[in-house]
Structure 1
Amino acid sequence: MGRVICDLTIWVDGYAAGLNQSEERPFGDDGGGWGDRLHAWYADPDANRAEIERVTAAEAFIMGRNMFGPVRGGWDRQWNGWWGDDPPYHAPVFVLTHHARAPQPMTGGTTFHFVTDGIESAQAQARTAAGAGDVAVVGGAATINQYLAAGLIDELRQHIAPLTLGAGTRLFDGVPPLDLQQVSARATTAVTHVSYRVQSWAPSPERSTATFTKESSCSMRKRHRTAGDGACSTSPCPS
């Protein structure tokens, strides 16, 4: 069985997108709205070729609805993602949502499947689709945080841009303490690539793992229902 991996580009202060995201500014208040400064390292493929190729090397992908597009509520308009007719995944992509929709095949082998029954279901479907290959949780940060909080990611790959943002959607928000084993690190002029193996949760001595699990899961469900980033876990909020 393959791994569940995650690649995410973040600012030095941990943010993956700014405030006030919209269709016109999908990365929000980040100095331009389209993540150009954050993802400047993609413009130097010679220096970052291995990392760029790994981003789309999985056999199946998972993303939150906020990453898929700006449409909220029911599917009252035909939105097929930000990437045009030929998205870069060329494999099944499972989109977390609260609203059912038929699968959307695209040019080049990508098919978007819309999952309404939670992150575990999306992962199970992606694992089946991937066979022995890897599954990648590609974002956004709020969706990745749900998977980290649930202990469902094996390897986390951060691509850290040498800039700060100050506010927005942040990696690790609402995630219990993690035991991360660094497996690689490499710097280029525009980015530092750091990969971690996610070993286990590491709760503080004063509080049990069960308490962390319950509280973080509850608070994250409340926040994601408000933000609209993907679907929350299937079990009811314990509060």
Structure 2
Amino acid sequence: MSLARVQSFAISLDGFGTGEGQSADAHFGHAGDRLHEWMFETRWGREMLGRPGGGGGVDDAFSRMFAPGIGAEIMGAGKFGHPGWHEDPEWKGAWGSNPPFHTPVFVLTHHPRPPIELEGGTTFHFLDASPAEALETAREAAKGQDVRIGGGPTMIRDFLAAGLVDHMHTVVVPILLGRGVRLWDGLEGLEKDYVVEATSSPSGVTHVTFTRATA
């Protein structure tokens, strides 16, 4: 069976995966781009932005694991858009006409709408479903490839609590946000179910991977 994977999900030192005050102009609230500056400085990140340069090394190596083997993504309503996006029939996500996913994407929301097909192979589907139901649907669309559990932090937390995540790559960024949405709340003892490894980077971030332990 395909794996359910979290890839390159960045959190602050105090565990926040997004800041407070999300809006159409501030996708991560008061956090701004600070959680993802490490990625924008890699060669892979620059390639995604259509810019030359960028560094190699450990950050670039981890960044390049984002897409290979992924056949579908599941994301929460808060990642797809700012609060109230469902009231705007023209809202098509925060990534422009050619989003970086290039697969079917299933948005978990209490406000379903017809699918949105964009450039590059990305089609957004809108589901009002439990984590297990959404994963089953995404696996069918992934056609044997893995499913990326894309965030935000509330949705990833729900999938972890349900025992549905097989592999998770988090990036601990050396900033303190103080407010927003935390990833780890209610997940005490999670590490007992996984093999946990940490890799420090000269950029200051720490890559922490959780791989489901086998008997």
| TM-score, structure 2 normalization | 0.84
Paired with 2:97 and 2:201, the residues of 1 have a C-alpha distance of 33
Change (3 A) 1:28 1:88: same
Paired with 1:94 and 1:9, the residues of 2 have a C-alpha distance of 21
For the residue of structure 2 that corresponds to 1:139, the secondary structure is coil
Partner of 2:62: 51
Correspondence for 1:40 among 33, 37, 40: 37
What CA deviation, in whole Å up to 9, does each residue of 1:25-70 have, x standing for no partner? Answer: 221122xxx3x22111112212322221212332110000110011
Query: Looking at both structures, which has the greater relative contact order when contacts are Cα pairs under 8 Å and sequence separation is at least 6?
Result: 2
Partner of 1:155: 167
Paired with 1:107 and 1:118, the residues of 2 have a C-alpha distance of 28
Which amino acid counterpart does residue 66 of structure 1 have in structure 2? G
Asked if the contact 2:22/2:83 (under 8 Å) is kept, the reply is no
Partner of 2:15: 14
Which amino acid counterpart does residue 77 of structure 1 have in structure 2? P
Asked if the contact 2:131/2:162 (under 8 Å) is kept, the reply is no
1:136, distance to aligned residue in structure 2 (A): 0.7
Partner of 1:139: 151
Partner of 1:97: 109
The reply on whether 1:111 has 2:123 as its aligned counterpart is yes
1:15, distance to aligned residue in structure 2 (A): 0.6
Correspondence for 1:167 among 157, 179, 182: 179
1:185, distance to aligned residue in structure 2 (A): 2.4
Partner of 1:2: 2
Asked if the contact 2:75/2:155 (under 8 Å) is kept, the reply is yes
Partner of 2:209: 195
Partner of 1:214: none
Unaligned runs of 5+ in 1: 201-239
Deviates more, 1:37-46 or 1:147-156: 37-46
Q: What count of residue pairs does the alignment treat as equivalent?
A: 196
Which amino acid counterpart does residue 9 of structure 1 have in structure 2? A
Asked if the contact 2:23/2:83 (under 8 Å) is kept, the reply is no
Change (3 A) 1:108 1:74: closer
For the residue of structure 2 that corresponds to 1:121, the secondary structure is helix
1:75, distance to aligned residue in structure 2 (A): 4.3
Alignment of 1:58-73 (within 5 A): 58-72=70-84
Paired with 1:184 and 1:129, the residues of 2 have a C-alpha distance of 32
Asked if the contact 1:18/1:169 (under 8 Å) is kept, the reply is yes
Paired with 1:184 and 1:60, the residues of 2 have a C-alpha distance of 27
Percent identity reads 38
| TM-score, structure 1 normalization | 0.76
Paired with 2:152 and 2:207, the residues of 1 have a C-alpha distance of 18
Paired with 2:111 and 2:141, the residues of 1 have a C-alpha distance of 22
Aligned-residue CA RMSD (Å): 1.8
Paired with 2:165 and 2:98, the residues of 1 have a C-alpha distance of 27
